[in-house]
Structure 1
Amino acid sequence: MSAHIGVTGLAVMGANLARNLARNGYTVALHNRSAGKTDALIEAHGDEGEFVRTETLAELVESLERPRRVLIMVKAGAPVDAVIEQLTPLLDEGDIVIDAGNSFYEETRRREEALREKGLHFVGVGVSGGEEGALNGPSIMPGGSKESYQTLGPMLEKISAKYNGEPCCAWVGTDGAGHYVKMVHNGIEYADMQVIGEAYDLMRSLGGLEPVQQAEAFREWNTTDLASYLIEITAEVLEQEDEVTGNPLVDVIVDSAGQKGTGRWTAISGLEVGSPVTAIAESVFARSISSQRELRAETNEVFPSGLDEHTPEVPYQEEGTQQTFVEDVRKALYASKLVAYAQGLDMLVSAADEYGWDLDLKSIASLWRAGCIIRADLLDTIMKAFDAAPEDRPKNLLLAEEFTEAINECLPSWRRVVAAAATYGVPAPVFSSSLSYYDSLRRDRLPAALIQGQRDYFGAHTYQRVDKEGTFHTLWSGSRIEVDA
């Protein structure tokens, strides 16, 4: 029997992708460092399709039709390199090696170049949707050569999530583009989750809404322009009662959020390509500070949280004002969510210039409409914004007509919520930084002019003028005259 594709690495994600492929009519060769996982998968799910059991990578390769397609699902980093090193001597020119893990895009670019020199295709594939998505249809973002996609693409499209019948899978771009787009997806996910958390905190701390009441609010919000997977599951989490204590489950979960690296990579790459992804960076920092529980406990003893004699009384818990405050929070959440998407897409444009990719923002938005974590109704509007001729596309998502109207409509509420958070000491780093991003974009003059003057003073870094061409320097320690630099 010749298998259509081989999967090596049968932890949950690898096993579920293998099952997804088999369910869709493909014969899948299975390999794992420990053959026990291979046997367990076949025993439990062998009736879902055609599987070929192998014990070594050589057996895996021998079982595949040509061009061979081998999907690697092992831990990112050195383990991927180790599998590639064992695998490549067994392959022939034109064979395809696929890394569907959360690998760093620079490592994908390095691997793609190295395997290309050997006549092999290396495809970094971003896969979003977690364990359930891997099994039932994830959002898939493949990179690598366009030639490899001709062979691999139909298979990936068939197992991907579908939105109104359209596959949430398309070739993204060369070398590391697939993993880069997945990284940015995760960065937006970090910001989206953080602003939802900030909305919850504000409504509870200032609005007095208990989790079960907020669950009702989030369900209602999921029928508005905020409709999304994350809003949907937030209602489920807030409604859940702890079986042991009878308290809301959210109250017994430790308030420390971890990260697997993709959010951090997004923030770092944003700095490297000169794209201000402030909402994403602040969401990463928010997780970092949440993990500093001992420091937070000590600081709380010195500077107790809550109101003090200098803080006015919270006015948002009476029936009328509470409803108004909740609606303000909803609008602030939507505006901040738009900023997170705008920053992520802007970063993709900057990265495309940096790495020579031809990234299609409309196509990328289409991949996120189903199967992935940030799927949301607003993605249809994002696609519409980037469907225009190149010269008519907005330079920033916030400049798309529908989103410009939405920001203008949300702005008063957004300012009131950020002001309330500052007044009453409730941290809202992404709400606040998103509003500052908006204000910075629309400001005709920024204080960077003073910064340039300072840099020229202490380091002769020079500056440019608004009224004539050229580069200039002031002789600060001497005559203080300006000279051409």
Structure 2
Amino acid sequence: MQIGMVGLGKMGANMAERLRRGGHDVVGYDHNTEVSDVASLKELVERLEAPRTVWVMIPAGRPTQQVIDELGRLLDAGDLVVDGGNSHYVDDQKHAAELADKGVGFVDCGVSGGVWGLENGYALMCGGEKADVDRLMPIFETLKPEGEDGFVHAGDVGAGHFAKMVHNGIEYGMMQAFAEGWELLEASDIVKDVKGSFSSWRTGTVIRSWLLDLLVRALDDDEHLDELRGYAEDSGEGRWTVQAAVDHAVPLPVITAALFARFASRQEDPPAMKVVAALRNQFGGHPIAATEGSLGKGADAPGADVRPPREAS
């Protein structure tokens, strides 16, 4: 099958290569001319035979919107666009409506697999009309891992990215649980082999997983993670998952806490903890860590002996 691939970064380039290995004709376009097969989106569309299929694999938001807008001007009725980036499901519905005005189909596809997908295959979660998804099945069959699992037509337009969004939210929670367990083991006086403890869980336990395998791999390279800062970004899906939970009145305490933990990782001196420290000093006289050049209040310092309010009689 012939397909155009827009965006040849780490994910897009590997997906294009996996498709080529599977016998598909891939025409790739990227701003980086060293990896691009064509000089422009216009040339990419001209290289494809009708009815055309174009897979967009670029960052969500404005970049995707700009490409969708341009493809809407270049493509013809009967052509098909796939958004395989991490777009918000609400944007999918907007893009589908815009392209439908020209008779161009739209499928959203959440893709998971990272840098390992070239060899292992990609988990694919799709949303869109059945006829459009069926037309893409040769592509999906090549990209996904071998076996029955690894692909789902999750529902209507937006359902694929909604499912991927929830997947990434779950990933946040699992990663945070591993992180907290690692920190507790490292803090223990009696556990002498933290890395070995994690490695022992890879067989025969209910928490064995690919994430656990990857953590052990990271500890093999840096046993106590001394070379890393405790700083973690979030790519957007975690925020969208929490917002969707609010919209649907679904409690997500674990995923929400994991997202907020990432926010906390970016603060060298968390402002909220200043209030906690101040209050502990006020009601219990607990010492506080003073900033440089100032005097911290100990148990006997002013403010430490403030009495609680008397109950109203």
TM-score interval for Structure 1 and Structure 2 normalised by the shorter chain: 0.7 to 0.9
1:118, distance to aligned residue in structure 2 (A): 2.2
Alignment check: 8 A CA contact 1:96 1:148 kept: yes
Following the alignment from structure 2 to structure 1, what is the Cα–Cα distance between the partners of residues 243 and 190? 37
Contact kept? 2:19, 2:143, Cα under 8 Å: yes
SS at match of 1:140: strand
C-alpha separation between the residues in 2 aligned to 1:259 and 1:182?
15
Task: State whether structure 2 residue 247 is matched by structure 1 residue 272.
Answer: yes
Whichever residue aligns with residue 110 of structure 1, its letter is: K
| Superimposed CA distance per residue, residues 333-381 of structure 1 (whole angstroms, 9 cap, x where no aligned partner) | xxxxxxxxxxxxxxxxxxxxxxxxxxxxxxxxxxxxxxxxxxxxxxxxx
- The structure-2 alpha-carbon separation of the partners of 1:138 and 1:204, relative to structure 1 and needing over 3 Å to count, comes to same
Please tell me whether residue 229 in structure 1 is matched to residue 221 in structure 2: no
- Per-residue displacement from partner, 1:25-49 (whole Å, max 9, x unpaired)? 10101112342232xxxxxxxxxxx
* 1:5 matches 2:3: yes
After superposition, the C-alpha distances for 1:154-208 in whole angstroms (9 at most, x for unaligned) are: 311222122xx22511211111000000000000000000011111122222454
Confirm whether residue 292 of structure 1 aligns to residue 267 of structure 2. Answer: yes
Deviation at 1:99, TM superposition (A): 0.9
What residue in structure 2 maps to residue 174 of structure 1? 156
Task: Count matched residues.
Answer: 278
1:105: which partner in 2? 89
Q: Distance in 2 between matches of 1:170 and 1:157?
A: 11
Three-state SS of the structure 2 residue aligned to 1:258 is: coil
| Mapped partners of 2:233, 2:189: distance in 1 | 28
SS of structure 2 residue aligned to 1:110 = helix
Q: 1:154 corresponds to which residue?
A: 138
Q: Select which of 23, 26, 45 maps to 1:25.
A: 23
Runs of 4+ in 1 over 4 A off after TM superposition: 296-300
Q: Quote the Cα distance in structure 1 between the aligned partners of 2:150 and 2:164.
A: 13
SS at match of 1:28: strand
Q: Measure the CA separation in 1 of the matches of 2:218 and 2:154.
A: 34
> What letter is aligned with 2:244?
S
Query: Partner residue of 1:376?
Result: none
Instruction: State how far apart, in whole Å, the 1-side matches of 2:169 and 2:96 are.
Output: 24
Q: How does 1:195-234 map to 2 (within 5 A)?
A: 195-206=177-188, 208-210=190-192, 213-223=193-203, 224-234=205-215
Give 3-state SS (helix, strand or coil) of 1:171's partner. Answer: strand
Q: What is the distance in 1 between the residues matched to 2:133 and 2:95?
A: 17
Matched, 1:183 2:165: yes
69-78 or 216-225, larger mean C-alpha shift: 216-225
How far has the Cα of 1:274 moved from its partner?
0.9
Distance 1:31 1:284 in 2: 34
The structure-2 alpha-carbon separation of the partners of 1:134 and 1:180, relative to structure 1 and needing over 3 Å to count, comes to farther
Flag the structure with higher helix content. 1
Matching residue's letter, 2:209: S
TM-score by length of 1: 0.54
CA distance in structure 2 between the aligned counterparts of 1:236 and 1:288, rounded to whole angstroms: 25
Deviations 1:8-65 (A, max 9, x none): 1112211111111101110101112342232xxxxxxxxxxxxxx3222222112223
> Does the CA-based 8 Å contact 1:214-1:238 persist in structure 2?
no
Verify the 8 A CA contact 1:17 1:134 in the aligned structure 2: yes
Runs of 5+ in structure 2 lacking a partner? 279-285, 287-313
Distance change (3 Å), C-alpha of 1:208 and 1:101? farther
Whether the aligned pair in 1 keeps the contact of 2:126 and 2:154 (CA below 8 Å) is yes
State whether structure 2 residue 54 is matched by structure 1 residue 70: yes
Distance 1:132 1:296, change over 3 A: farther
1:143 to 115, 127, 134: 127
Give, as a single letter, the amino acid of the residue that structure 2 aligns with 1:294.
D
Task: Summarize the alignment of residues 421-460 of structure 1 with structure 2, pairs less than 5 Å apart.
Answer: none
Structure 1 unaligned blocks of 5 or more: 39-52, 242-247, 304-309, 311-485
In 2: Cα distance, 1:167 partner to 1:155 partner: 15
- The separation in 1 between residues aligned to 2:118 and 2:105, in whole angstroms, is 23
**Contact 1:153/1:171, CA 8 A, preserved across alignment:** no
If asked which structure has higher relative contact order (CA below 8 Å, sep 6+), I would say: 1
Residue by residue over 1:126-165, the C-alpha shift from the partner in whole angstroms, topping out at 9 and shown as x without a partner, is 0011122156411111112111011112311222122xx2
- 1:172·1:178 contact (CA, 8 Å) conserved in 2? yes
Rounded to whole Å, the distance in 1 between the matches of 2:128 and 2:229 is 40
